[in-house]
Each structure stands twice: as structure tokens, then as C-alpha cells.
Amino acid sequence: MAAAVRQDLAQLMNSSGSHKDLAGKYRQILEKAIQLSGAEQLEALKAFVEAMVNENVSLVISRQLLTDFCTHLPNLPDSTAKEIYHFTLEKIQPRVISFEEQVASIRQHLASIYEKEEDWRNAAQVLVGIPLETGQKQYNVDYKLETYLKIARLYLEDDDPVQAEAYINRASLLQNESTNEQLQIHYKVCYARVLDYRRKFIEAAQRYNELSYKTIVHESERLEALKHALHCTILASAGQQRSRMLATLFKDERCQQLAAYGILEKMYLDRIIRGNQLQEFAAMLMPHQKATTADGSSILDRAVIEHNLLSASKLYNNITFEELGALLEIPAAKHEKPCQHGTNRSNHFVSK
């Protein structure tokens, strides 16, 4: 049957008639190819693509038929559709400028298949191939913004915050031009996640906290955003910004529903955080938040040691590093370095 489709296409390419008549006949052949199955269907569809990109076929007809072709492919098995998408992109490449709209559609569908397979990097790279800024077609702001956000999100899923940040920065240039409130929310979520992955925890906490008040966001998702705000605040380095965020979150009654509220309370009230509570909180963190620093300690270890040192400095005027280590349940070497970060703080501690 695939051979019959090829024969029909060859005859039609050498025939004459109006664009409307020819388009109708090509559409009948496409329908015939779609009705096939397995290897026959694959070969017939490939033959159809080859005919459509042939320069002997009017561009008006080939664009129209490739658009129709793209609407059928999502209904095929993913494995078949994926092979056809790749084949089509390869065949179109020499004339890609003539088929920008069809290529964009193919890439969006192909990326969706990779996303279903959780092949995040390939999904992102397929979308990157859409010439949003350099092509002849003028894409509207919302389409470009949505695509950049999707690329950024996919790179985050692939644990590549550097690439994600590059595309969220492109989205930043467009988001003020969009009036789509849903896209604005998606931008804010994605931007907060990029900051989180890049370990810019206090900035991420501020963005997550802002999202937790957006009424357009479902209540459960607002609470999820608040949870992320709390986790990022705990992981952030000590300073005025974190102190302000701790105060904001501690005064937010919703935080009392969160599992990490106990840590928040101790941080806000300058109480020492013990090891067992630290282990419980560590289990709540995402993989990138459990990363280790150059000295082998985790981001959480650093943040809590820093907090505990500050808390201890308000309790004791004079204490040795050994006594401090026993109090904080850590070796002296681990807190001597944080002590040296601030002269005022280190003046409270003496070594033997």
C-alpha cells in the first residue's frame, strides 16, 4: 500500500490543475496514508513528506498540506510520530525558511513526546530549534514567552540551571509585554525555581512568598510556594534580608501548617537547632538543595552552623571552641571558619 501512495504522489506531481483541485487530491492521498498501519504507514507518510518538500509542488499547496499533515501526527503512536517528525525536519531543512510555521508546529509536538518520556534535554533542544527571534515569521509575544518558559522549565528538570537561566532571561524581556495572567504566573514560578537552583536562596524565597499570595493560583499551590519560600529562607546565608524574610514568614499564620515550622520558629527566636531536627528538615529538601560545598559540608549544614553560632553568641560572652562544639554538636574545626567570617561574632569565642 505504501507503494501505491508513492505511485499516486508521482502521478499527481506531474499533473496540472487549480491549486484547490490539487490540494484536494493530495489531501485524499494523505488520508489514505494515515489509514495504513505499522511499517506501511511509516513509509507512506515519509513519501508524502518527500513530495511536499519537492520544489515541483507549489509552495501554497505544500504549506497547506504540511499543516494538515501536522494535525494528524499527534494521533499516531508516539514512536511512529517521533520518527516521522525527525524525518520531516531533516527533509525540510534545505527549505526551512519556506516552512517556518510548520517546523515550529512539528518541534512543539516532538518536544511534547520527549517530555512524556521524561527526556528533558532533548525536549528542550527541540524547542530551541524554533527561530523565535531570527526567522522570517513574526511570532506573537505570548507564543515566544510560553516557549522560552517551557525551555527554561525543561532545562531545570534536566538539572541544568545555567541553560534555564539563559532562557528565563529571554522571557524576562517579554513578560512585561504580555497581558496573559497565566503566563505571568508561569514566569514567576519558573524565575523563582531558577533562583532556587542557582542557590540564590533569599531572592528565590522572596519570589516564592510573592506567589503564595496570588489568588489566581490554586490554594494548594500557594501553600506549596510558601513551603518553598520557607525552605529557601532557612538555606540562605545570615543577614538582614534573611532576618526580614524570617520575620515575614513567622508572622504568616499559614506557616504553622508546614512541616518545617519548628526550624522557622527556632531561627526567628534565635534558638539553637539540634541535630535530630536538622535531619528531619534535610529529608524535606530537593536534591539540588542537598548539594555539598567545597569543604564537604552541605548547604544546610553551613546555614544552620551559621545560625547556631549567632544564637550562641547571644547566650555566651566567653566560650572555647571545644565547649562551643559540644554545645552545637559539631567538631570545633567546622565552626572555627564560620566564626572568622565576622569579627564581632568571633570576639565572643576564644580558643585554648
Q: Which amino acid, residue 273? A: I
Per-residue pLDDT at 269 = 92
User: In this structure, how many other beta carbons lie within 10 angstroms of the beta carbon of residue 159?
Assistant: 12
Along the 352 residues of the chain, how does pLDDT read in single tens digits? 788 888 888 888 877 878 888 999 999 999 999 998 899 999 999 999 999 999 888 999 999 999 999 999 999 999 999 999 999 999 999 999 999 999 999 999 999 999 999 999 999 999 999 999 877 888 999 999 999 999 999 999 999 999 999 999 999 999 999 999 999 999 999 999 999 999 999 999 999 999 999 999 999 999 999 999 999 999 998 889 999 999 999 999 999 999 999 999 999 998 888 878 888 899 999 999 988 877 778 888 888 888 877 877 766 555 555 555 555 555 555 545 554 444 344 444 444 3
Q: Fold for 297-351, please state it.
A: Arc Repressor Mutant, subunit A (1.10.10)
Per-residue pLDDT at 351 = 41
CA distances from 200 to 12, 31, 63, 91, 331 (A): 61, 53, 46, 44, 28
Domain ranges for the chain:
46-92+101-117, 297-351
Per-residue pLDDT at 334 = 52
Per-residue pLDDT at 350 = 42
